[in-house]
Amino acid sequence: MKIRIVGLMLASLLFVSCGTLDIFKSSPNKSQDKLDRKSDEISQQERSLAKNNEIKLKQIGTVSKGVEHALDKEPEPSKNVDVAKELNIRVQSLASNPDVKDVVRIREIVDKLVSEVEKERLQGRTELKKLDNELQYSQTQRVLLQNELNKKMLEFKNLSDNIAEQNDKNEQTVDEMNKWFGLGAVFYGIKRFLVSSMIIIAVAAILFLILRVLATTNPIAGAIFSVFEMGVSTILKGVKTLAPGSFQFAKFVDKGTSRH
């Protein structure tokens, strides 16, 4: 259990430290690629919605053919029937031409619905119910596609706004670096280095304390702490080699002992 807790704590610290350091890490600008990918998603969604709309127009044309077939069956059409026919012609002009098989199917449904035989009328009702389910499915898909398209368009807008905001910040940073004939870049680099160093030192210190406490009770943590100590000692040796007197000034060793 202790090992798991240590692992979780170390992983959390590393995750937080890496996420924090990403703020200061400069990477190639991939904003345009993100916008292009999001634009492709929108285009694909628009094509799916357009295809669904084509299906809708064909379905309207199919139902309109059924209306026409039913009105034509009236032996002595009244003025109301004549007006309905005229309006239906206009509906057909707005809709797409349906496939032949769909026209045959809708006419068979109409024939059964107006049949004198009850069994055929029941069959017509069943076939009409199937057609209703198909129309409902198409409508449901259209709503889902439209909602998804709206969602992706909103994501594209938010991404564009974020990129524009980030570009403004980058422009401010460039202006700051260009101050004082370019000396602003020096101060910016020093500030960034100090902040990054402080974060790294803080994370390392927390890891050191955790390992130091657990090393007394857990052999695995003790082994990890030994490796940690070896790394620190290597760094200290390097510092001592570059600046031999730094250890005396820092009082890491006794001055009297170091003279012998």
Domain assignment present for residue 250? The answer is: no
Residue 245: name the closest of 230, 235, 259 by CA: 259
Domain assignment present for residue 256? The answer is: no
Among residues 116, 145, 163, which one ends one of the domains? 163
| Same-domain status, 146 and 178 | no
| Same-domain status, 95 and 159 | yes
Domain assignment present for residue 65? The answer is: yes
Q: What is the pLDDT of residues 201-246, one digit of tens each?
A: 778 777 777 766 766 677 776 677 677 667 767 776 766 676 666 5
Instruction: Flag whether pLDDT at 258 surpasses 60.
Output: no
As for how many domains the chain has, the answer is: 2
Compare 113 and 17 and report the one with higher pLDDT. Answer: 113
| Same-domain status, 64 and 93 | yes
| Same-domain status, 90 and 178 | no
Mean pLDDT of 23-29: 43
Between CA 246 and CA 260 the distance in angstroms is: 17
Domain assignment present for residue 56? The answer is: yes
| Same-domain status, 94 and 12 | no
Q: What is the pLDDT of residues 58-73, one digit of tens each?
A: 999 999 999 999 999 9
Instruction: Flag whether pLDDT at 144 surpasses 80.
Output: yes
Domain assignment present for residue 192? The answer is: yes
| Same-domain status, 126 and 176 | no
| Same-domain status, 177 and 224 | yes
| Same-domain status, 45 and 154 | yes
Between CA 155 and CA 165 the distance in angstroms is: 15
Residue 124: name the closest of 100, 142, 107 by CA: 107
Domain assignment present for residue 133? The answer is: yes
Instruction: Flag whether pLDDT at 124 surpasses 50.
Output: yes
| Same-domain status, 67 and 143 | yes
Structure tokens at 55: 């299906």
From its phi and psi, is residue 84 left (phi > 0), alpha (psi between -120 and 50) or beta? alpha
Q: Which of 71-75, 86-90, 172-176 has the lowest mean pLDDT?
A: 172-176
| Same-domain status, 45 and 118 | yes
| Residue-averaged pLDDT of the chain | 78
**pLDDT computed for residue 131 by the predictor:** 95
Residue percentage of the chain with pLDDT more than 70: 65
Between CA 110 and CA 42 the distance in angstroms is: 41
Q: How confident is the model at residue 79 (pLDDT cuts 50, 70, 90)?
A: very high
| Same-domain status, 72 and 184 | no
Domain assignment present for residue 246? The answer is: no
**pLDDT computed for residue 212 by the predictor:** 66
Between CA 198 and CA 204 the distance in angstroms is: 10
Q: What is the pLDDT of residues 4-13, one digit of tens each?
A: 444 444 444 4
For the entire predicted model, the pTM comes to 0.56
| Same-domain status, 133 and 158 | yes
Tell me the residue range of the domain where 176 lies: 2-24+169-241
Compare 75 and 129 and report the one with higher pLDDT. Answer: 129
- The answer to whether 115 and 128 have CB atoms below 8 angstroms apart is no
